[in-house]
A and B are shown apart, each in its own frame.
Chain A
């Protein structure tokens, strides 16, 4: 169970290299990682990630457990370390959930992502990809 998504991730990574090679000329370097309409689902799709890699049942897609995300993006502690510098606060580590806040609280695939913290902490104004 643990190994499978990692393999996919490696596959995805090689795709990243491949795709960015193709698009480097057309897309400005700074925005190359972002999906065209800013939606994460578009970005994932452009990385060659299929519906089935998130949705167990593609015919009847349901909410995706965060284990799927963690399967590709790695342990939450490592992710938190990556964004430790983000101001004003690390979005991936907080007192309410430690490093394990459900990704889907903030990141959405098929609609605009939201900043889950903002309604309660009005100065935590980071932008969620």
Chain B
């Protein structure tokens, strides 16, 4: 694509222009209503004008859809907080809202660059999740490889992302992730760099070499949550002040509408006003626990369980009412289950059956996309992988890594031996001597399950998958007891679409102009994904991006 095609006269990239046109912001609605009212006015239809004025009025209380037609009652306008209700006012250079995978790195990075920093956190401690976060080692990677990987990610994102932000991750993540590893270690974390080892499929891209730094906060039950708590210790030593149990309620604006601070609510119901000399960085994560918001932006999520809590999209409301623009409908979701059985077997194309016990998919589909087949209320993300005791030999050549029967016991809730390296409340692998018994353990309907296995075995015998077209070398029958099943439950790990930002991670308003004092990182930041599902091409892209943009935004705001 030539530069001339992708840029308009304002010098704006295609992605930004598109989000400005179709995204959700205060102005897009107000300007359209104003136009509508003016048009009607010309025709002299007084009563309709009045109606429109009423609609315009309600936009003062609630957010509006991009066409102004729908009231988004999940984003009410913050009510003014009286000066008498503000217990304390504190002033810092930089205020970070949210102590997760992007907020804690941002705070430390800002402090290391000389700023006086406060972190306001909703939870009683820093909270995040996951294990793996990754970046690219520039020194040992081909530039062509990095560009090839960026192109691959754009493809994964259905070309709906801002390439500049992908490149920013690609060219800065090596430095940022290594920095997180170093600083978390200083806070006592056992984090390790796994290098390129976990990135099996992408060590060469289009024939070019790419090398990785892969931070691993683990093994489970240790996670990035523990890692961010360790990093917060380093941050405290660097002078960062944390305020826990203090959800941010609203932003404080200067005369010109610029953002100059945040008001947060303590457990005693009293408010504290945090003023920021340089800027406020929002890092409040996603909105999976805000049901109305999910139903609006990603209706597909209706029947899925959640993996996080208290992610009610607070940062979206804060940024929207400050004039920010939310990426248009069609947000990106991330659903998986790496815990029920071995993660290394999750993409192996064994027979899969839905919650009732019926085969439903060509199993070569990635686990991270299975959710699209299991959206209904009955399945609600549940399915089971099924195989027999020949799996170690019959699936030996498949991509992935088989765990032998002895190792599978670690994933079996019915096996009494103590578990290691897993969340023992979430393991869900089963073994049984008969198919009926296995069906019951997998919570399937035994008759349906047995019929599905019978049919599948016939297809395997014929070496042709007449039902779903799976390749013959992926057809292995389920015949020899004991039989195994992994009952996976796709739940929402995270949602990763957000607010429109520029390359400084500064929020843009509906005119595409940066909002002074307001920065957005982590999954609250937009422009990085855009596909139906989060891509699992780079293992740990999500956390890697959170660390990288936190590291960069913290430094940028500190230096303002």
Tell whether, in the assembled complex, residue B307 and residue A65 are in contact, meaning their CB atoms are under 8 Å apart.
Answer: no
Tell whether, in the assembled complex, residue B225 and residue A65 are in contact, meaning their CB atoms are under 8 Å apart.
Answer: no
Residue on B with the closest CB to A99?
Answer: B124
Residue on B with the closest CB to A56?
Answer: B269
Q: Produce 1/0 per residue, B358-389, CB < 8 A to A.
A: 00000000000000000000000000000000
Contact of B413 among A66, A96, A123, A124 (CB under 8 A): A123
Q: Which residues on B sit within 8 Å (CB–CB) of A96? A: 123, 127, 309
**When A65-B269, A95-B221, A120-B307 are in contact, do A100 and B425 touch as well, CB less than 8 Å?**
no
Residue on A with the closest CB to B123?
Answer: A97
Q: Is the interface of B mostly helix, strand, loop or mixed?
A: loop
Q: Give bound CA distance, A97 to B127, whole Å.
A: 8
Interface flag for A98 (CB, 8 Å)? yes
Q: Give bound CA distance, A89 to B221, whole Å.
A: 14
| Given pairs A98-B124, A120-B305, 5 additional interface contacts (CB within 8 A) | A97-B123, A98-B125, A100-B124, A100-B245, A120-B307
Whole-angstrom distance between the Cβ of B418 and the nearest chain A Cβ: 13
Tell whether, in the assembled complex, residue A119 and residue B125 are in contact, meaning their CB atoms are under 8 Å apart.
Answer: no
Q: Which residues on A sit within 8 Å (CB–CB) of B138? A: none
Q: Produce 1/0 per residue, B116-146, CB < 8 A to A.
A: 0000000111010000000000000000000
Q: Produce 1/0 per residue, B272-311, CB < 8 A to A.
A: 0000000000000000000000000000000001110100
Q: Which residues on B sit within 8 Å (CB–CB) of A66? A: 267
Q: Produce 1/0 per residue, A21-47, CB < 8 A to B.
A: 000000000000000000000000000
Q: Give bound CA distance, A123 to B423, whole Å.
A: 12
Tell whether, in the assembled complex, residue A65 and residue B425 are in contact, meaning their CB atoms are under 8 Å apart.
Answer: no
State how many residues of chain B have any CB contact under 8 Å with chain A. 20
**When A88-B425, A95-B221 are in contact, do A120 and B268 touch as well, CB less than 8 Å?**
no
A75-129, CB < 8 A from B: 88-89, 95-98, 100, 119-121, 123-124
Q: Give bound CA distance, A66 to B245, whole Å.
A: 11
B458-494, CB < 8 A from A: 491
**When A67-B267, A96-B309, A98-B125 are in contact, do A121 and B426 touch as well, CB less than 8 Å?**
yes
Q: Which residues on A sit within 8 Å (CB–CB) of B491? A: 120
Q: Give bound CA distance, A89 to B269, whole Å.
A: 31
**When A98-B124, A120-B306, A120-B307 are in contact, do A67 and B268 touch as well, CB less than 8 Å?**
yes
Tell whether, in the assembled complex, residue A97 and residue B124 are in contact, meaning their CB atoms are under 8 Å apart.
Answer: yes
A-B contact pairs, 13 of them (CB 8 A): A65-B269, A88-B425, A96-B127, A97-B123, A97-B124, A100-B124, A100-B125, A100-B245, A119-B305, A120-B305, A121-B426, A123-B413, A123-B425
Q: Produce 1/0 per residue, B307-329, CB < 8 A to A.
A: 10100000000000000000000
Residue on A with the closest CB to B124?
Answer: A100
Q: Which residues on B sit within 8 Å (CB–CB) of A65? A: 267-269
Whole-angstrom distance between the Cβ of A54 and the nearest chain B Cβ: 14
Q: Which residues on A sit within 8 Å (CB–CB) of B425? A: 88-89, 121, 123-124
Q: Which residues on A sit within 8 Å (CB–CB) of B269? A: 65
Q: Which residues on B sit within 8 Å (CB–CB) of A121? A: 425-426
Q: Is the interface of A mostly helix, strand, loop or mixed?
A: loop
Q: Produce 1/0 per residue, B141-174, CB < 8 A to A.
A: 0000000000000000000000000000000000
State how many residues of chain A have any CB contact under 8 Å with chain B. 15
Residue on A with the closest CB to B269?
Answer: A65
Residue on B with the closest CB to A121?
Answer: B425
Q: Give bound CA distance, A55 to B268, whole Å.
A: 13
Whole-angstrom distance between the Cβ of B332 and the nearest chain A Cβ: 22
Whole-angstrom distance between the Cβ of B130 and the nearest chain A Cβ: 13
Q: Produce 1/0 per residue, B192-235, CB < 8 A to A.
A: 00000000000000000000000000000101011000000000
Residue on A with the closest CB to B423?
Answer: A121
Whole-angstrom distance between the Cβ of A53 and the nearest chain B Cβ: 16
Top 5 closest A-B pairs, CB basis? A100-B124, A121-B425, A67-B267, A98-B124, A98-B125
Tell me which of B267, B305, B306 has the highest count of chain A C-beta atoms within 10 A of its own C-beta. Answer: B267
Q: Which residues on B sit within 8 Å (CB–CB) of A120? A: 305-307, 491
Residue on A with the closest CB to B306?
Answer: A120
Whole-angstrom distance between the Cβ of A60 and the nearest chain B Cβ: 14
Tell whether, in the assembled complex, residue A95 and residue B268 are in contact, meaning their CB atoms are under 8 Å apart.
Answer: no
Whole-angstrom distance between the Cβ of B334 and the nearest chain A Cβ: 16
Whole-angstrom distance between the Cβ of A95 and the nearest chain B Cβ: 6
Q: Produce 1/0 per residue, B486-521, CB < 8 A to A.
A: 000001000000000000000000000000000000
Q: Give bound CA distance, A67 to B426, whole Å.
A: 32
Q: Which residues on B sit within 8 Å (CB–CB) of A124? A: 425
Whole-angstrom distance between the Cβ of B410 and the nearest chain A Cβ: 16
Q: Give bound CA distance, A120 to B426, whole Å.
A: 9
Q: Give bound CA distance, A119 to B425, whole Å.
A: 12
B1-49, CB < 8 A from A: none
Whole-angstrom distance between the Cβ of A80 and the nearest chain B Cβ: 12
Whole-angstrom distance between the Cβ of B355 and the nearest chain A Cβ: 14
Whole-angstrom distance between the Cβ of A13 and the nearest chain B Cβ: 24
Q: Which residues on B sit within 8 Å (CB–CB) of A89? A: 425
Q: Give bound CA distance, A121 to B389, whole Å.
A: 29
Q: Which residues on B sit within 8 Å (CB–CB) of A97? A: 123-125
Q: Give bound CA distance, A100 to B246, whole Å.
A: 13
Q: Which residues on A sit within 8 Å (CB–CB) of B267? A: 65-67
B537-551, CB < 8 A from A: none
Tell whether, in the assembled complex, residue A95 and residue B124 are in contact, meaning their CB atoms are under 8 Å apart.
Answer: no
Residue on A with the closest CB to B265?
Answer: A65
Q: Which residues on B sit within 8 Å (CB–CB) of A123? A: 413, 425
